[in-house]
Amino acid sequence: MTESVIRFNRFREQSPDCPQRERKPAGGGRGFGAAYGARFGLVLTLSIGIAASACAAETRVRIELVSVDGVGAGIGIVRLAESKGGLELTPSLANLAPGLHALAWRPSGDCRPAQWNGKTIAAGASLETKDSDADQDPALAALAHATLPPLAVDANGVASKPVAAPGTKIATVAGRALVIFQGAVAGDDQVVVACGTIP
């Protein structure tokens, strides 16, 4: 039961849509016998496990502006929710340039700038991997070649239209980064304007 509660609290922090239920002491009400109280406790344990499972299917990524000078202000969140076919990414972002922006997963959750080929690039640290990571981790190798639909930003700089990431689960991308590029083309040599670490 303790493990279920810990798991429930962790996912509640990641997703405000999963409020914690108020727990009442088992058998504490008038007229409850010992056997009934134990039975109530079992029901409570199961309900907490079910709630934790439901909340485990989504998380929220805080997105911040990035540049060669470092990580800047937050511009909103992207909600990742598991569905039957993969992940649905629902942005709630502002202060982006209007138009299409490419999205990509990055192997490291570090959004700070870093040197690559003698040049400092925004969110460059998110490209870093350990030796042979791609060979040892098939999920990481698959992410490196994953193509995400572009993020649509309206004339006011707001992005709210969801995009899909087929065949992807939260567990696969947890601890990695979600990056947003300046234009509709993704690539290590393209400019990243925003980045978020996936919990």
Specify whether the CB–CB gap between 140 and 163 falls below 8 A. no
CA angle 124, 127, 128 (to 5 degrees): 105
pTM over 0.85: no
Q: Locate CATH 2.60.40.200 in the chain.
A: 58-197
Question: What CATH number labels 58-197?
Answer: 2.60.40.200
pLDDT, one tens digit for every residue, the chain (199 residues) = 444 333 333 333 443 444 433 333 334 444 444 443 444 443 433 333 434 444 548 999 999 999 999 999 999 999 999 998 899 999 999 999 999 999 999 999 999 999 988 999 999 999 988 655 555 567 666 676 677 999 999 999 999 999 999 989 999 999 999 999 999 998 878 999 999 999 9
Looking at residue 129, its pLDDT comes to 80
User: 122 exposed, middle or buried (CB, 10 Å; 0-12, 13-18, 19+)?
Assistant: buried
Specify whether the CB–CB gap between 20 and 12 falls below 8 A. yes
